[in-house]
Amino acid sequence: MSEPLRFGILGAGMVARYHAQAIAAMPGARLVAVSRSDPSKAAASAAEFGVPCETSEAALLARRDIDAVCICTPSGQHARQTIAAARAGKHVLVEKPMALTLADADAMIDACRRAGVTLAVALQRRTEPAYRLVHQAIRDGLLGRPVLGLALIPYFRSKAYYDSAPWRGTWAEDGGGALMNQGIHIADLLVWFMGDVEEVLARSATLDHGIEVEDDVVATVRFKSGALGSIAATTAAAPGFPHRVEVYGTRGGVQHEAEAIVRWDGESAPAIDPALRARASASAAGAGASPTGLAPTGHARILADFVTSIRDRRPPLVPGEEGRRSLALVLAVYEATTP
């Protein structure tokens, strides 16, 4: 393929802007159109994104000048739209969570496989150099046998955030709260490092927001390897703090704060690029304090990988099967909190 991969974006909200920036930064990609369901906002979206704005997903998917779509709509719409895109012959990069049920995730994977199109999930934390270094170290045995994995997500989201769209904080469209919407990125890293989960014990609560779903959840997990772990997530920790991910094994351990390595000790601890180490000052809260606190680099890297995976006819960094693993963990936590 010598021509740029032509993109459409389903949805025109906050996360769609990250995808549009990523497409603009990728020499082998070009944004062709976006869509939004409110016709009264179509002109404003067309002006903002600099491309036509369709007023239905069907109209965008029917365009012959689109090769791939980024799905940036509320989570409850992801499965249906991915399946429709696959049937229209479009490659799909879908935002997290890829779906709200495992059955829907399986249907998405199957639809894309049958259509011969690529399905990737925007779990862009896996592109971060510090996390990739640790993942490779675990694969190489530098930490020995992993025995403990910890994920802490002490985030804050204001009342205005939940009031900004009627689907936020609902089971039907958000699929969950602090863990499904915000924490799934960090839960995904835990699965990536430690493997799939065998057993979960959990408690959840809604302590500071008038929403259907949880804004506070803690879980202890036993991984299939026998290792143990814990996850704690909240959106009520004002003013918001950076997440932490820690992995310990029989030969060493690593502590992350945000996307930096705070400490790596053990018998086979490697030399670490200073750029990957945390500064002496506290890490910026970033996404912990605001949904717009995400650095654009993660989406740029996940989209670049998506484009090259299509061109090279190889699996993307986070295919549907991997997106399903983090979804399975989140759903297991929710099931464990059910009385």
- In terms of domains, do 162 and 49 share one? no
Q: How many CB atoms lie within 10 A of CB 171?
A: 15
- In terms of domains, do 109 and 131 share one? no
Question: Where residue 305 sits, what CATH number does that domain have?
Answer: 3.40.50.720
Average pLDDT over residues 251-264: 94
Average pLDDT over residues 49-68: 97
Q: How many CB atoms lie within 10 A of CB 339?
A: 2
- In terms of domains, do 142 and 104 share one? no
Alpha-carbon dihedral 266, 269, 273, 278, rounded to 10 degrees: -10
d(CA 121, CA 305): 11
Using the predicted structure, report yes or no on whether residue 60 has a pLDDT greater than 50.
yes
> Where in the sequence numbering do the catalytic residues fall?
96
Query: What is this structure's pTM?
Result: 0.95
- In terms of domains, do 186 and 327 share one? yes
- Local confidence band at 279 (pLDDT 50, 70, 90 cut-offs): low
Mean pLDDT of the chain: 95
Helix (H, G, I), strand (E, B) or coil at 245: strand
d(CA 31, CA 52): 10
Q: Sign of dihedral through CA atoms 311, 312, 317, 323?
A: positive
Q: How many CB atoms lie within 10 A of CB 111?
A: 20
d(CA 71, CA 66): 13
Average pLDDT over residues 77-88: 98
**Which position has the token pair 């997990």?**
221
- Dihedrals phi, psi of 299, to nearest 5 degrees: -65, -35
Using the predicted structure, report yes or no on whether residue 280 has a pLDDT greater than 60.
no
Query: What share of the chain in percent tops pLDDT 90?
Result: 91
Residue 263, token pair as written in the block: 């400490």
Question: What is the number of domains present in the chain?
Answer: 2
- In terms of domains, do 224 and 287 share one? yes
- In terms of domains, do 217 and 86 share one? no
Q: Are 290 and 297 in contact (CB under 8 A)?
A: no
Containing structural domain, residue 101: 5-124+298-319
Q: Return the amino acid letter for 285.
A: A
Q: Which residues contact 8 (CB under 8 A, 6 or more apart)?
A: 31, 32, 33, 34, 35, 60, 61, 63, 66, 68, 69, 70, 90
Could you read off the pLDDT of 116-171 as tens digits, one per residue?
Answer: 999 999 999 999 999 999 999 999 999 999 999 999 999 999 999 999 999 999 99
Half-sphere exposure of 68 (CA within 13 A, CB side): 29
pLDDT score recorded for residue 300 = 97
Query: What share of the chain in percent tops pLDDT 70?
Result: 97
The sheet carrying 91-95 orders its strands as 53-54, 29-35, 5-10, 68-71, 91-95, 119-122
Using the predicted structure, report yes or no on whether residue 339 has a pLDDT greater than 70.
no
- In terms of domains, do 43 and 150 share one? no
- In terms of domains, do 142 and 271 share one? yes
Residue 220, token pair as written in the block: 């202890």
- In terms of domains, do 13 and 146 share one? no
- In terms of domains, do 114 and 174 share one? no
Q: Report the length, in residues, of the chain.
A: 339
Average pLDDT over residues 73-81: 98
Helix (H, G, I), strand (E, B) or coil at 73: coil
- In terms of domains, do 155 and 245 share one? yes
- Dihedrals phi, psi of 46, to nearest 5 degrees: -60, -40
Question: Where residue 208 sits, what CATH number does that domain have?
Answer: 3.30.360.10
pLDDT score recorded for residue 274 = 81
Could you read off the pLDDT of 169-224 as tens digits, one per residue?
Answer: 999 999 999 999 999 999 999 999 999 999 999 999 999 999 999 999 999 999 99
- In terms of domains, do 274 and 304 share one? no
